[in-house]
Chain A
Amino acid sequence: MSGAQPGKQVVPLAEALARLAALEQANKLVEADDLANRMLAAMPEHPHILHLAGIIAYRNGRIAQAVERMEKSEVLAPEAALYPRNMCEVYRGAGQLDDALRAGRRAIELAPRDARAYFNLALIHYERLELDEAVRIADQAIALEPDFAEAHFEKAEALLLGGRMKEGWESYEWRFKLKQAEGMLPKTGKPQWDGRPLAPGKLLIVGDQGFGDCIQFSRLIPWAALLCPQPVLACSGELTTILRQISGIGKIVTRWEDTGDYEAYIPLSGLPRLAGITTENVPPAGYLAPGPALVESWGARLDRLVPKGLRRVALVWAGRPTHKNDRKRTLKLEQFAPLFARDDLAILTVQKGEQIAQVGGYYGRAPLLNLGPEIVDFADTMAILRHVERLVTIDTSVAHIAGAIGVPTALVLPHAPDWRWLLGREDTPWYPSVRLFRQERAYDWSGVIERVSDSI
């Protein structure tokens, strides 16, 4: 007779650990959580269970618990190189950059041939704005693994953020080898455009990356059209109404089947490299404008909806949750309290997506008008922005819309922002109407919104 309890299934530890790891990698996080908790209950001091349970807690958004579990695993198995390597990333998510730096260095010390350990450390240096060090460590990762796309891309971001545009654009080409870039480009044997002239309609320009990137780089389409007249632009349906305004485009398509017989293609985000864009020669903004009829109809609506005599401030506080840096850039509506306490302002939120529900919990003094539910597309957003004194926004597509049409904008940025906003300046060569308000400390928004409010 077996000694096991009736009904209890005994699984070998190695098998259970493999199953736990597989569940995590398959994004079955609820099941993974359940299994991790059961395994921890049985073996609370097992370092690898603790480590995997920490990763699962992190991915379920329980960062403090993740740190606690993983620190315990490191104490129990101080020589396991994998632990500090993963902890480096978890500490980054927790905003503990000093701990992340220590863990990253320890991981390299334990596994000096592990390219991913270098990559993780490079990310931390980027977050700490130690850009030269970020590039140096990313280069070490690349030396160990020359096709390590993430390391190249990280190097590109550090170079571009530091204003080293020419080198940065070269490394930036690795973005299409990233796992998440799959499907962004057409499956074709045709070459990528090298900047030489082509016959009319023979260049396909692909609106890759996010909406903001497309709006930002679309200013370079007229330059491409000088070399290859009437290029075909393939982009997401949400962008067609506004990108139609860009001069020189032959036709806009939203399906690969409709692109026609092109000879070469180029992603929109590849145009700055070909055009040799630096911080000194960015083509001017003002290349988009809202439709006059929409401007008029929104003007009439807003005159009815917004109390007279109040200064209108538009607001976006959250980005697309699936964006890789969303945790860094997105705020909660309530964090804009310094604006809400003002008696002279009316807040017009042009936020879209699920986050608009936060408006329901707003009870500030400044009247707040939740326009998101009535906004159909970017054309509406542009028209609304024509009727506000200022846009206050996080780093999301609406900032680009406002910049492209020249609306005064206060853009709040994380300490280590996206590369396009550069460092150490309040302005941006991309959009003269945009003023940048940066975090003074990583992951700490205190004082930022107060400065924005003081500027209005």
Chain B
Amino acid sequence: MDTVTQQKLDDVLCRCGSGLRRVRCCDADISAWPGGEAVDALDAQGQEAVKLFNEKKYVEAEALALKLLDLAPNLRPALRVLFEIRKAQKRGTAEEALAIRLAALPGAPAVRAAANLLLAQYYVGQGRYALARPPAAEAVMATPRDATAQHVLGVVLTESGALQAGERHYRRALAVLGRDDGVVLANLAWNLKLQGRLDDAVVIYEQALALRPDNRRGQGGYAQAEFARGNREKALRLLDDGLARWPDDRALRLLRAMADLAMGDAEAVLARLSNAPETLLSAELCTRGQALARLGRPVEAVQHYATAKLLQRERHGQQYQAEAFAAKAEACKAYFTAERVQPLPRAVAPPARQPVFLLGFARSGSSLLEQLLGQVPGFAAGDEFFPVAELNEIIPALAGAARDYPEALDHALVGDGWALPERLRQRYEEARNQLGLARPGVQFITDRSASNHWQLGLIKLLFPDAPVIHVLRHPLDVMLSNLGQDRRLEANCGVSMLALARHYALVMSLIRHFRGQLTLRYLPVRYEDLVSDTAASLRRVVEFAGADPAAVPPEAVLRANSAMPPGPVPAHFSGREAVHGRGLYRHRAYQTQMPALFAEVREILDPWIAELGYREDGP
């Protein structure tokens, strides 16, 4: 006779905090979930849970939902109730896990779209745009005539840098709405501003604000667009009007302070951001710190910066993603070796217009170089308008590869794969040309994408002869300059000087690897030369790129740095100022006043300082 072994029920609760048993939550065997008819049998009780929730009987609703989900983890109404309760309780991990599960459930298109939108908006709220992209896209595919789905995908694409695609979805949202909408229009205007289409942006902003004059963010964006166009008085008027209507709006106040700083009025910044430092937000602290630095008060400036970084880490939970990016760098180095890249096909025909790729760690001077090159006839400033990195995602599909990028590139060795570089290049060129970069007379288009250092291997395949200009700056000046910024940098490395130094070393060693393994047309240019001998440095770059150095404007014109390109206009042009040497070896004065300022990064940066040929005692 067989004996029956008594098995213990697995009643361990799930680590996500949903309140469900783990075997009914994140560790569930999806293939063992109840089938459709079985789930339908529980629907009435699911609706009962919804009813309890709507009647604000949350305890009862939660209890019922948990019971139902223990029977059928895929019972949508119960799942939705539990999700809403965990969301209200701010139990993020559970909220995310339940939203993912809801989005994955089968169902009618409208229901699936709603669930995916929920997930996308959850990620948007956290600034995790890459994760938001798949559910937002799912929502659009399920209900293409849903304006909200189109709008959310527009937001996601815009914020993750796919500007043209974002614009298309905003316009689609307006089309399916069949009328203008102030919020969608303001978001479209911001997208156009990011694309450097400033004239178009201000027209749309005017329409958006006419419909929704209460849109504070729209008012700020409009001011930023006008400031970038050089209409500084109008920009200030917009900001002042906004502040008159919403005197407590800190975002508008910060924009106004940043405008003061850009116009050299540091005292006004201090007056405007005069709250007690402990009550300031990180962006406000950085702006105030920069004003203090401009007024020759470096110790106070650094104190402000340090507090800002502390806030970023502790209040906003930002952490340097060291391990993830170290792994990414190692994977990149492992793939892009001379031996592996050499046999891969390259795009052969000379490009219609030569891209000039600019490299440089944040605050090294690559934007200054791009502004200066923008003054040279024949050059257009392409900034980050369509990064090569955008191509990474489409490579597996184009190559017919089951593997991800970069391994998918191996498929270029097989069959029709030889044409892959040409097709990718075409995609890149089309995207940039659509922005209006391919103006008559333009032969060179700069690409200043922040991700370029990861893409040198792909760049080699698409543009084998493209110049790569690397702007170098004394690493301690780079640290100092980044310390005063509130910008979100790659891998969240801006959260501390130590993280900045570690990421600087990672990026520099990645570039070093590519240079050792690939035949790159590479030229290092020093920020220090660029600001002290501007015309000569620029002539060298222009000649290296293959253009006529005689076309470089005279030193005085270059240093004024006031020319405005016909468009698109890169965002950094709005902050451009006359070429100055204020930041030249700035770290020395800081170090004199604060000898320990760089102590924790010396071990990381000293080898780079030596390798780059900078000396302690002078240039």
Contacts and interface: CB of A to CB of B under 8 A. Distances in A.
A141 interface: no
Interface string A349-365: 00000001111111100
Nearest to A372: B338
A21 B612 CA distance: 44
Contacts of B613: 363
Nearest to A346: B544
A363 B524 contact: yes
B516 A357 contact: yes
Contacts of B519: 305, 369-374
B584 interface: no
Contact of A363 (B338, B350, B612): B612
Contact of B543 (A301, A309, A369): A309
Contacts of B512: 357, 360-361
A158 to B, nearest CB: 39
A414 interface: no
B472 interface: yes
Q: Give the interface residue-count category, chain B.
A: 20 to 34
Interface string A271-307: 0000000000000000000000000000001001101
A308 B550 CA distance: 14
B506 interface: no
Contacts of B543: 307-309
Interface string B515-558: 11111111110000000000000000001101000000000000
B353 to A, nearest CB: 15
B544 A373 contact: no
Contacts of A307: 543-544, 546
Nearest to B513: A360
A373 B342 contact: yes
A332 to B, nearest CB: 12
Nearest to B548: A308
Contacts of B465: 301, 304-305
Given A304-B465, A360-B513, A363-B472, A370 B611 contact: no
A264 B536 CA distance: 67
Interface string A160-202: 0000000000000000000000000000000000000000000
Contacts of A360: 511-516
B341 interface: yes
Given A361-B611, A373-B342, A374-B342, A367 B523 contact: yes
Contact of B516 (A308, A309, A358, A369): A358
Contacts of B612: 363
Nearest to B350: A304
Nearest to B337: A373
A356 B338 contact: yes
Contacts of A373: 338, 341-342, 517-519
Interface in B323-347: 338, 341-342
Interface in B476-528: 511-524
Nearest to A340: B613
B459 to A, nearest CB: 14
A97 to B, nearest CB: 31
Contacts of B511: 360
Contacts of A301: 465
Contact of B518 (A304, A361, A362, A370): A370
Contacts of B515: 359-360, 362, 370
A307 B350 CA distance: 17
Contacts of A361: 512, 611
B517 A367 contact: no
A88 B338 CA distance: 41
Contacts of B518: 370, 373
A362 B515 CA distance: 9
Nearest to B510: A360
A417 B520 CA distance: 34
A359 B521 contact: no
Nearest to B460: A373
A161 B616 CA distance: 46
Contacts of A357: 512-513, 516-517
Contacts of B521: 305, 369
Question: Which one of A309, A358, A361, A372 has the greatest number of beta carbons of chain B within 10 Å?
Answer: A361
A308 B543 CA distance: 8
A379 to B, nearest CB: 15
A309 B546 CA distance: 11
A237 B611 CA distance: 38
B385 to A, nearest CB: 25
Contacts of B523: 367
Interface in A368-397: 368-374, 376
Contacts of B516: 356-360, 370
Interface in B220-234: none
A370 B522 CA distance: 9
A371 B519 CA distance: 5
Interface string A216-257: 000000000000000000000000000000000000000000
A349 to B, nearest CB: 9
A358 B522 CA distance: 14
Nearest to A356: B516
A46 B341 CA distance: 53
Interface string A321-361: 00000000000000000000000000000000000111111
A368 to B, nearest CB: 8
Nearest to A334: B611
A357 B511 CA distance: 11
Interface string A305-318: 10111000000000
B180 to A, nearest CB: 50
Nearest to B509: A360
A360 B342 CA distance: 17
A363 B475 CA distance: 14
A357 B512 CA distance: 8
A335 to B, nearest CB: 14
A356 B338 CA distance: 10
A307 B540 CA distance: 10
A389 to B, nearest CB: 18
Q: Which 9 pairs show the lowest CB-CB distances between chains A and B?
A: A360-B512, A357-B516, A373-B338, A360-B516, A360-B515, A304-B465, A374-B519, A363-B524, A307-B544
14 contacts: A305-B465, A305-B521, A308-B543, A309-B543, A357-B513, A359-B516, A360-B513, A360-B516, A363-B612, A367-B523, A368-B522, A370-B518, A373-B341, A373-B519
Given A305-B519, A307-B544, A359-B515, 7 more contacts: A305-B465, A307-B543, A308-B543, A308-B546, A357-B513, A367-B523, A370-B519
